[in-house]
Amino acid sequence: MSPAVPIVFAYLFVLALASMLKTSWTDPGILPRNLDKIAQPENQSREDTYGYPYSSMSDYSILPSPKEVMIKGMLVRLKYCETCCIYRPPRASHCRQCNNCVGRDMLIVYKTENEDHHCIWLNNCVGKRNYKSFFTFVICCFLLCCLAAAFSLYQVIFTALDTGSFQIALQREPVSFAVALFCLILLLPVSCLTGYHCFLVMRGVTTHEQLRSNLAANPFEEHPFDFGNPLSNMIHVLCRPRNKSYIGRRKFVEEIYEIDTSNVNNPLTSLSH
């Protein structure tokens, strides 16, 4: 076997690992809060788990109505986020896991902030600032599975042809057979994920748009963020420079612990101790 095979495999492995870490540790495009904060009624001040101003339908008599902007002759609605107190830009969404509005910029003629999805395996949102590294990670995983399965099977088949018995080949190359079987099983979900994101990139849509909008019923429906052909969509999604982060990191925030104060004013509880 050529020495180029392990070299290529090692390169893809390092690239996949680096892309995974970069996707997991990069700000996906968290949007700043309180840009469109509305008046707070008296004696109804509330905060969420993270200490940010919180509002609900019961707190306000009138909530801001959605705004509409025109993009390529099509109306796009801007929804108001009650948690972040902002009008979400086109294609942005609020992530419940991160408790932030996240976006990814994919359009030149109008600034958009678009979140693709939240990845539980990477423990981070995939948005405008880390989608390219996520896409690289998915492609590398697919190529690694193909490469490992192909050359492991080649080793088993070559040994079987050399010895004239497939059973003897399995006895001599049990590790190669196990790796080939494992990679072939893993290749099915990885190839589906790779093909799905290639389809999204070529269409210029995101996971949220494809699953939650009319694009789910008609994947080829015209939308205002399409640049006309798959190549142009791929260039605008994968080849543009990364935007600056809105987060001004200054220090690490210590973890907030919740203290149970339900029994603080109970005299019986105090005497029992």
**Which residues are identified as catalytic?**
119
The DSSP string of 106-161 is --SSS------EEETTTTEEE-TTTHHHHHHHHHHHHHHHHHHHHHHHHHHHHHHH
Contact 125, 98 (CB under 8 A): yes
Report the alpha-carbon distance of residue 173 to residue 216 in Å, rounded. Answer: 46
- Residue 242, judged by CB atoms within 10 A of its CB (0-12, 13-18, 19+), counts as middle
Q: Quick one: tokens of 164?
A: 């004239």
Under DSSP, the state recorded for 190 is H
Report the alpha-carbon distance of residue 83 to residue 100 in Å, rounded. Answer: 8
204: alpha, beta or left, given left = phi > 0 and alpha = psi -120 to 50? Answer: left
Q: Quick one: tokens of 260?
A: 């149970």
Contact 238, 201 (CB under 8 A): yes
Contact 23, 136 (CB under 8 A): no
What is the helix (H) or strand (E) element at residue 174, kind and residue range?
helix 174-203
Within 8 A by CB and 6+ apart from 131, the residues are 104, 116, 237
